[in-house]
Chain A
Amino acid sequence: MTAPRQPVDFTDVQGLVRFGHSHLPSSVFHLLWVKDASAARAWLGSAPVTSAVSEGGRPEQVLQVAFSAAGLLALGLEEGTVGGFSAAFTAGMAGDSNRSRRLGDTGPNDPGQWRWGGVEAGVPHVLLMLYATQARIVSWQEDLFNASFAQAFEHRFALPGGLGDGREHFGFMDGISQPALDWQGESPPGGHWRDAYTHRLAAGDILLGYVNEYGLYTDRPLLDPARQPAAAVLPPAAEQPQFRDLGRNGSYLVLRQLRQDVPAFWQCLDRAAGGDPARREQLAQAMVGRKRDGEPLLQAADRNAFTYDSDPAGQCCPLGAHVRRANPRTGDFPPGTSGPFKRLLRTLGLGSPSGRDDLIASTRFHRLLRRGRVYGDTIDLARALLETPGDADGDDERGLLFVCLGADIARQFEFVQNAWLNSAKFAALRDESDPLLGNRQPLPGALHSDQFSLPRAGAPAQRIAGLPQFVQVRGGEYFFLPGLRALKFIAGSER
């Protein structure tokens, strides 16, 4: 399963895959519906989409573009072509109730109540992501949205966002931990043997058309240029060069608008802490799994150089903390599996000293590259302790425009959301789901999911019960962020 070394071609990759564009504090994500397909294609064909090339300094304005499955069809791609993308993408985030159950999009998160996306509001076709300085963003938007744009698209939602000084609305430093992509294709993919956790990730786990952590290629539409001559603009497929690769240098983009109820968060913790500010802070840190300034809760050489191997019971960083659920930093084997004999034993399931190993899957198959932005006005702690929870709605609401990239929506975003964040059974826990994100819906058998536990040495875990919902899903969809040549193909696709 060894594949040739394949450096990523940055000229064909949208900038967002490589950069968070954090030098540009203002952003607006536009959700568009195609009104006139040929006008839309024409506009897209000449849109100044930013690549991942870094020479010549960072751009002063950035445009990225992505499409939902419905959008690709609306633009005239053949159904067979769109069907070559993954099942999750073609079905869409709110496409069926089973997916909603798995993602925790039930109760107040139900897609029927979303502001955009979902069944009622309809699936947006095109996602335009604009990044610029605050001074520039408005005028640039005016330049872009010219007459032909107005003819091509119906524009229904604009989601402005910002960097929030690097902090999300609960007040914690965000965007610290990311997978380190192997852009040059240097390290051989792990295949089935990589014992220990590392931040390093095969490019093919984010970008389509490259080798992933399994040493394999993820499914994506491969087109036959003999049948579709327009496909000649696309790069050839690495593993089947007779085909052209619509996916290559592209990625799936997951967008979720997550409203944060900051007063509910801090007031709940204040009550649990009996009004003691130091306790309150401690509980909040435990829920996130980092301190407010981003410092981890266990000894680490630097902010991101640690695993949880030294803290198996979660006494330093609770097992259920958001960052530990989102990235448990596990390897393929439990810690301490060295040598072929031990490995063989472990493979057979024998020789597990604690009997508690293997509860959490190996992390490297479930990484996300996060590219989110915050939206809405920030609110400081003092005000959050006073305001009525649930009040910030509509224009006043605040939260996270969660964005993540990956090559396999089901194995990455959906897995993390379902098996790790949303699961009441993660790491043999009970009665709790992600302390920040949980929808607090009860489980079958009248079991709770609205608690949070902080394990203690030599004592039962400390437990906070009856957590209200802090984060509510307001919209979401799966998009395809194409490579630049693929964008040319899409812009030129006439049915």
Chain B
Amino acid sequence: MTPQATVMIAAPVSSGRESQLVALLASMNRHPGEADPANSSVPFGQFCQLHMARFSVLHARTNDDIRAHGVRPRPWQPTLVFIADIDGDPDLFLAELCVRAGHGLRQIFSHCRDFDASCDDLLAWLHQRKQRPAASYVNWRGRTVQQIHEEAALVHFVRQQLGAVAAPGQVPPEPRALHRQLRRAMLAELADLRLRLSPPAPTPAGWWLGNLCHLLLIPLLGLLLLPVLVLLAPFYLWRLRHLERTDPENTRPPAPSHLQALLAVEDFEVTNHFNVFGQVKPGLLRLATIKAGLLLLDYSARHIYHRGYLTRIRTIHFARWVLMDGNTRVYFASNYDGSADTYMDDFINKVAWGLNLVFSNGVGYPRTRFLLKGGAEYEAKYKHTLRRNQLPSACWYKAYPGLTAVDLDNHHRIRRGLENPAPSERELREWVSLL
């Protein structure tokens, strides 16, 4: 199994050079906000381990919101971020990136404040600007880009074979006969190397060990801290409730021009991309809460939610939560299937509690009760807050256009069904229904 990793580079943009940078990034696109996979600056399509990537410029558009807490906003320089979701080793990916797209990357990052045109070690420069997410989510751990393409090709082949069977008025063959027939056809294609189904690579031992330690150590740590936490709980709750009652909301609708800028880059693909950049509320309690919330999220994403769903949501491919600027800001970036409105409705109707846990520690968020209730349940307010703090991506890439996370899962199930020489009746019925 090849684990997935996420890479994020962040570098402040030189003053006065942002519009040039944005124009350069736009020149890499085939639709507004959507990269041409073969663009000459960063030819994303050439990287066979790259699922999704994006360049965005982070603006603190809502920086002044924190004044409502009686706090002066920290200055923020617009910052270019690059994010990539990849298979395997992130260091290897960065190195490959510098080799294949060194020129383009230099051009892009030369718009950043501390990039020296004569800098001859781009790789080291990038490494210095890596940001570790506080939490990250992968829809299906171990599903590589190569596997996705191989399975898509298999399914395409199978469906071609199926053409006549599926036509109206045809009497379908028995499922077992169909399975036998398609399996035989698949094996012939594999033998002739017209199709490929690579076996999963061995799981890297270091990763496996690290994951096991993570699985055990975090609960152990929790257990050790439990007595202290129990002691602190009443005070924590009392203080939390106080803050929840008094923290200012900012649920004004986004300015029409801002909404327009967001909409302009949405819905060209079946998958969309989301950037939210806001501030953490002042005070130790909020910082501790968001850190604990993100730890819990990261833990559950790592050990529970890596098989196609994040609680009840099946449409997110990759997501990450990053604390920035000395833990005073939080950046959330995700890739999800469907339109932004369906995404927000899913949030509200299915996981309001989960969002509240993390984002209620962000400035302006609709009022919560006991951290889990309220908040995102205030539908309109929540949508306004989210949209106000959302930013468009400048250049976004996806390696498998037109396919949703559910499609990828279906493809894999079809493959598994075909690889099985003797499926049970039940397995057979399920498999047939996926064709």
Q: What is the CA–CA distance of A453 and B256 in the complex, to the nearest angstrom?
A: 40
CB-defined contacts of A428 to chain B, threshold 8 Å: 406-407, 410
Are A418 and B342 in contact, CB atoms less than 8 angstroms apart? yes
- In the complex, per-residue mask of B317-340: 1 if CB is within 8 Å of any chain A CB, else 0: 000000000000000000001110
Q: Among the listed B166, B169, B266, B379, which residue makes an inter-chain contact with A273, where contact means beta carbons less than 8 Å apart?
A: B169
Q: What is the CA–CA distance of A357 and B174 in the complex, to the nearest angstrom?
A: 27
Are B341 and A414 in contact, CB atoms less than 8 angstroms apart? yes
CB-defined contacts of B119 to chain A, threshold 8 Å: none
Are A96 and B263 in contact, CB atoms less than 8 angstroms apart? yes
Are A361 and B349 in contact, CB atoms less than 8 angstroms apart? yes
Q: Name which of B45-53, B235-243, B306-314 contacts chain A.
A: B306-314
Are B168 and A192 in contact, CB atoms less than 8 angstroms apart? no
Q: Among the listed A90, A332, A462, which residue makes an inter-chain contact with B349, where contact means beta carbons less than 8 Å apart?
A: A332
- Considering only CB atoms, which chain A residue lies closest to B374 in the complex? A1
**Taking the nearest CB of chain B, how far is it from the CB of A468, in angstroms?**
16
CB-defined contacts of A342 to chain B, threshold 8 Å: none
- In the complex, per-residue mask of A346-367: 1 if CB is within 8 Å of any chain B CB, else 0: 1111001001011101100100
Interface flag for B187 (CB, 8 Å): no
Within 8 A of A (CB), among B363-410: 377-380, 400-404, 406-407, 410
**Taking the nearest CB of chain B, how far is it from the CB of A194, in angstroms?**
11
A365-B345, A415-B345 known; A447+B402 contact, CB < 8 A: yes
Q: What is the CA–CA distance of A192 and B267 in the complex, to the nearest angstrom?
A: 28
Q: What is the CA–CA distance of A462 and B168 in the complex, to the nearest angstrom?
A: 6
Interface flag for B253 (CB, 8 Å): yes
Within 8 A of B (CB), among A409-448: 410-411, 414-415, 418-419, 423-425, 428, 430, 443-447
Interface flag for A458 (CB, 8 Å): yes
Q: What is the CA–CA distance of A445 and B407 in the complex, to the nearest angstrom?
A: 13
CB-defined contacts of A446 to chain B, threshold 8 Å: 402
Interface flag for A23 (CB, 8 Å): no
Q: What is the CA–CA distance of A414 and B270 in the complex, to the nearest angstrom?
A: 16
Are A218 and B380 in contact, CB atoms less than 8 angstroms apart? yes
Q: Among the listed A99, A362, A457, A464, which residue makes an inter-chain contact with B168, where contact means beta carbons less than 8 Å apart?
A: A464
Interface flag for A186 (CB, 8 Å): no
CB-defined contacts of B84 to chain A, threshold 8 Å: none
Are A411 and B337 in contact, CB atoms less than 8 angstroms apart? no
Q: In the complex, how many residue pairs between chain A and chain B have their CB atoms under 8 Å apart?
A: 151
CB-defined contacts of A349 to chain B, threshold 8 Å: 305, 309-313
- Interface residues in A, total, Cβ within 8 A: 64
Are A415 and B341 in contact, CB atoms less than 8 angstroms apart? yes
CB-defined contacts of A90 to chain B, threshold 8 Å: 256
Q: What is the CA–CA distance of A283 and B168 in the complex, to the nearest angstrom?
A: 9
Q: What is the CA–CA distance of A455 and B253 in the complex, to the nearest angstrom?
A: 43
**Taking the nearest CB of chain B, how far is it from the CB of A84, in angstroms?**
9
- Considering only CB atoms, which chain B residue lies closest to A192 in the complex? B377
Are A98 and B263 in contact, CB atoms less than 8 angstroms apart? yes
Interface flag for A313 (CB, 8 Å): yes
Q: Among the listed B264, B308, B350, B433, which residue makes an inter-chain contact with A355, where contact means beta carbons less than 8 Å apart?
A: B308
Are B312 and A346 in contact, CB atoms less than 8 angstroms apart? yes
Are B166 and A461 in contact, CB atoms less than 8 angstroms apart? yes
CB-defined contacts of B309 to chain A, threshold 8 Å: 349, 352, 358
Interface flag for B103 (CB, 8 Å): no
- Interface residues in B, total, Cβ within 8 A: 58
Q: What is the CA–CA distance of A279 and B170 in the complex, to the nearest angstrom?
A: 12
CB-defined contacts of A99 to chain B, threshold 8 Å: 263
- Considering only CB atoms, which chain B residue lies closest to A447 in the complex? B402
A428-B410, A456-B172 known; A358+B253 contact, CB < 8 A: no
CB-defined contacts of A352 to chain B, threshold 8 Å: 309
Q: Among the listed A216, A219, A415, A424, which residue makes an inter-chain contact with B342, where contact means beta carbons less than 8 Å apart?
A: A415
Within 8 A of B (CB), among A451-474: 453-464
Are A445 and B311 in contact, CB atoms less than 8 angstroms apart? no
**Taking the nearest CB of chain A, how far is it from the CB of B73, in angstroms?**
26
Are A313 and B433 in contact, CB atoms less than 8 angstroms apart? yes
Interface flag for A383 (CB, 8 Å): no
Interface flag for A183 (CB, 8 Å): no
Are B380 and A192 in contact, CB atoms less than 8 angstroms apart? no
| Other A-B pairs beyond A216-B378, A349-B311, 19, CB < 8 Å | A90-B256, A192-B352, A272-B168, A273-B168, A313-B433, A347-B312, A348-B311, A361-B349, A415-B341, A419-B342, A425-B270, A444-B269, A444-B402, A445-B400, A456-B172, A459-B172, A459-B173, A459-B178, A460-B165
Spell out B's residues near A (CB within 8 Å).
162, 165-170, 172-175, 178, 253, 256, 259-260, 263-264, 266-270, 305, 308-314, 337-339, 341-342, 345-346, 349-350, 352-353, 377-380, 400-404, 406-407, 410, 429, 432-433, 435
Spell out A's residues near B (CB within 8 Å).
1, 83, 87, 90-91, 96, 98-99, 101-102, 191-192, 214, 216, 218-219, 272-274, 276, 279, 283, 313, 332, 346-349, 352, 355, 357-359, 361-362, 365, 410-411, 414-415, 418-419, 423-425, 428, 430, 443-447, 453-464
19 contacts between A and B (CB under 8 A): A98-B263, A98-B267, A272-B168, A279-B168, A347-B311, A359-B314, A359-B406, A361-B342, A365-B345, A415-B341, A418-B341, A423-B338, A425-B407, A447-B403, A455-B433, A458-B174, A460-B435, A461-B433, A461-B435
